[in-house]
Structure 1
């Protein structure tokens, strides 16, 4: 879709070339579709006898053939020509109502005020889940995160923190193996941290490699939604790697020495 919109934008701005030809072809096709739809509605309102393509007993079109070669005859646009038959159609009151409601809305439409509006998709009444259901859903979410690579502190580290850390610094473990956010975590995550010794070089290396890879993506892929998504994923990877460097000395269990390990 992004490529289509890009070609249409370029064609609208151009006066010749493939983008201009594409833009004109799309506009012509849209105009032909509108004309065909209008003619169909008009014919349905009027009714009467019409020339319609013939079909065989299986519902397939019966095409005209050249009497000499036996080949299917085609029109100037290359489409096969079908044999025609007369068919009578009753005038359609529904088509006439549709036309009047739109062509003479003040007289035949509801004017936006009359009529009854029925909500065919009423909101579904949902009850609030109980504590057990919330815990069950929470466990499922945590399991999905773990399955996708989320690392959790081991049991010995959790036991050490529970015994020795101050209350304000102690993570609240509501489920086995899962830590929740403490006030110290929020302060740490949403504060600026100056790089420690050796970290700036790592940041620069990651940024340079990410930029080089993003440039390769830009140069080797066509513009569009997939290219944009690829670069966005690259940026997310860069941010996550930078966060890993920042966390290497700030994690509460990074330098914990647990007896017996």
Structure 2
């Protein structure tokens, strides 16, 4: 049993008094390792809540720098961070909240050459990215190496979230077998996104990761949660493992990591 300091007992008091968490659960959180891929719109609220919850080790991977246009939604960056690496700004924000979280930053683009090394030591992987090629790469790697994956995406006024558990349900390719043709992807300049939308979806992703670590509740595995911010409506769609899925189906054709050409540089 972890020997909590007086400060930790006070800091995590609202967790510890929950029967579903308690001291044992908080110990699990403080001993856990979560990899957050993407330090933008989804990554910011997700990472802040994971840090506040006391995730022991939080890896943050993103090679991008902060732009002024990010500040409308990427809430762990500020004016003074413009031009800095997002992961450096993110680390500063986490460390302002708590001294209990070890933040490891990765200033590199996710690729088939480095993703295995990145995810191997983590208990849960969170996809907070903003493009199709990286989503497929993360999904495939988590399937091959048996890592729980918490997925989220946003577009204009709509968001989605789900959980993919290898060998225990569907994967991203069961939902979308392959990337869409480039012509179907809206212009990045025309897309836009409501500033508060990633806050909703990112918080849901953090919640799912915490539940996986604690082993409590029912995750979104096998369910796609769809959020419509304009009509303030949540819709749930059942997901089933596709027997013809090219990755996790009965006769898989995707047996190695694939690098897809970038279809869009839309920044979440």
Decide: shared fold, TM above 0.5: no
More strand by share: 2
Between Structure 1 and Structure 2, whose CA radius of gyration is higher? 1
- TM-score band, normalised by the shorter chain? under 0.3
More helix by share: 1
Normalising by structure 1, report the TM-score. 0.19
Normalising by structure 2, report the TM-score. 0.19
User: Relative CO higher for 1 or 2, CA cutoff 8 Å, sep ≥ 6?
Assistant: 2
